[in-house]
Amino acid sequence: DWVFLPDEEERKEYVMNEHGIIYKGADNYIFPITWDYGQFEEDMVKICMKILDLNIKHKRDPADDVSARCNPIYVSRVITSMINTANSGGILQGNWGNNFRGGFPPTHWSCSYAILKTWYNSCFCSVKFGQCWVFAGVMCSVMRLLGIPCRVVTNYQSAHDTDSNLTIDTYYADYGVKEKDSKDSVWNYHVWVEGWMRRPDLAQDRRYDGWQALDPTPQEKSEGIFCCGPAPVSAILNGDTNLKYDVPFVFAAVNADCISWLVKRDGSMVNIHSDTSRIGQNISTKSVGNTKRMNITDSYKHTEGTKQERIIFQLAFAKLETEKAGGGGTSLSGDKVGNQTTIINNGSPGTTTQTADQICSPTPPPQLLIRFEEVSKPMNGEDVNLNMILSSTSSVTRELSININAQAMKYTGQPAGNIFTKPMKTKLLPGKDLTIPILIPFLTYNKLMTECETINISAMITDQQKSDHVFLAENRIVLMNPPISITVPGEGRLNKEMIAEVQFMNPVKEILRDCSLTLSGSGLFDSEIITRLPDLLPNNRVRIKFGFVPYRSGERILLVDFDCASFRDIKKSCTIIIRP
């Protein structure tokens, strides 16, 4: 049929596997979280069929809707519209703010079944709250239950192009911080799913068969409702932005061009940075049959910097303009605009190097090389230490004005607050490196970072002797959570109680309040178990022993989530073999 995968190992992974990995973090700090799909838990058939019955198309014409359910293109599109509550009757309510009263923050969730069961048992009231990786995890569970091969995909440096011009504009003030919000945005990462199916509606030669991008996160409307896809990954690769469904939106997410503007005090703007290679980094999914990360970027786009990539970009834009039917869209050549800031580190977490070229002056100055180096691994609960190292090809001393700024960033690329700003003036000697230490104390960033994962450090550097020579460098830091441990003695037996132990030590010099522990895992717990814990004093350890009775055999995963007011949702998982 249209969803048949010929490879047995792929069928096991993309239909039958109840556990998976979702990738978060940033393009240079990729970290995995374990997700429990639980597609074979009790009542999942009822739940998933109810999802189809409550979709708006079924309400309008039940016979037409039911007769179309043999078509995975139709069914998958319906599911993307039902996972979110932007359309009536949906499962998960999105929340990208800081107030999660009346529900759980999106970081709380580790499994789909708890969300789907809550929705079903509450007479289909929306579950609070979700963000992109939660929407994707839940959709993957529903797709696998219905027999459609599905996998969760993470795109780092993911563009949200609101005006369909394949460019993302950002604005900086002359003291380094982002000057204003733009309707366009670049997310540290964005998570969607791919479903495997044939696309005879697009071509009979099967060129568009295979993986299709589907995005259940409500971002833009498609045919009047919030849904996205299925967009053939092969069409995205080849710039076929004229095809169904929503190919332009996903193409921009992985391959838009970025332009940074300097907003001067008089309101004028200068193009300080144009980047054709920033968007769409390390597109990742779990490998078949193991827990390794698989980089699938090459399936979405041609290698950045190649002539083929630019040709495809120009083709995609031309087809998009044609689709607008002469609507007077903005002209765009697809070529690089202005001078470039080149990222050299290629995703290494230890060092970020940027070469800042001339951006405002007709006479190119000597290059300024800006490098960020970590003094220690950035850990939540500890001071963040790094150095910014400057060097120049100039043969004379350069007097520099430097504004260093650190901001807490939401994963959507929006600043949550300013951590600190450090202005300074210094001299850069010819042939010498200049090291500028950057210290961000825990007490300075803690409150802002409880709902954020990333600190964005930017440096705006001006040559005082030539004030129109301005350089911008940025570095993203993802804070690693303090460790938590799970101990489970040996293998388990079906319907026989097991005892496990969780340990966590308070790493900071303050009391941890509002502590709780959440336990979950399909085949181990039929619902989430949430235990409230007493306040945890500085340098004290909490140790919790708990019993559970496995009700399904095979390889099961125990998931643990420790939450408190200072550290949100520290997760750990372990694999348990349950014998019959």
Backbone angles phi, psi at 488, to 5 degrees: -130, 120
191: which strand partners?
154
Angle between helices 132-145 and 44-53 (to 10 degrees): 110
Residue 69 and residue 52 in contact, taking contact as beta carbons nearer than 8 Å: yes
Angle between helices 247-255 and 307-323 (to 10 degrees): 150
Please give the Cα distance from 495 to 112 (Å, whole number): 23
Pair of tokens at residue 463? 């040559």
Cβ count within 10 A of residue 318? 15
Mind telling me the catalytic residues? 132, 190, 215
Residue 92 and residue 138 in contact, taking contact as beta carbons nearer than 8 Å: yes
Pair of tokens at residue 79? 């599911």
Please give the Cα distance from 17 to 13 (Å, whole number): 5
Return the SS3 of 420: strand
Beta strand pairing call for 225-226 and 398-409: unpaired
Q: If we measure between CA atoms, which residue out of 507, 504, 568, 511 comes closest to residue 536?
A: 511
Please give the Cα distance from 246 to 83 (Å, whole number): 17
404: which strand partners?
422, 459
Pair of tokens at residue 491? 């293998």
Return the SS3 of 110: coil
Please give the Cα distance from 580 to 577 (Å, whole number): 10
Please give the Cα distance from 394 to 38 (Å, whole number): 60
Q: How far apart are the first and last CA of the chain?
A: 34
Q: If we measure between CA atoms, which residue out of 189, 217, 215 comes closest to residue 25?
A: 189
Helix ranges (H only) for 13-153 are 44-53, 56-60, 62-67, 72-83, 112-121, 132-145
What contacts 24+ positions apart, CB below 8 Å, involve 60-64?
none
Return the SS3 of 351: strand
Pair of tokens at residue 81? 């519209």
23: which strand partners?
32
Residue 164 and residue 248 in contact, taking contact as beta carbons nearer than 8 Å: yes
Helix ranges (H only) for 292-441 are 297-300, 307-323
Which DSSP string do the residues of 353-367 spell out, in sequence order? EEEE--SS-SSPPPP
Please give the Cα distance from 241 to 264 (Å, whole number): 36
Which DSSP string do the residues of 47-81 spell out, in sequence order? HHHHHHHTSHHHHH-HHHHHHTTT-HHHHHHHHHH
560: which strand partners?
519, 572
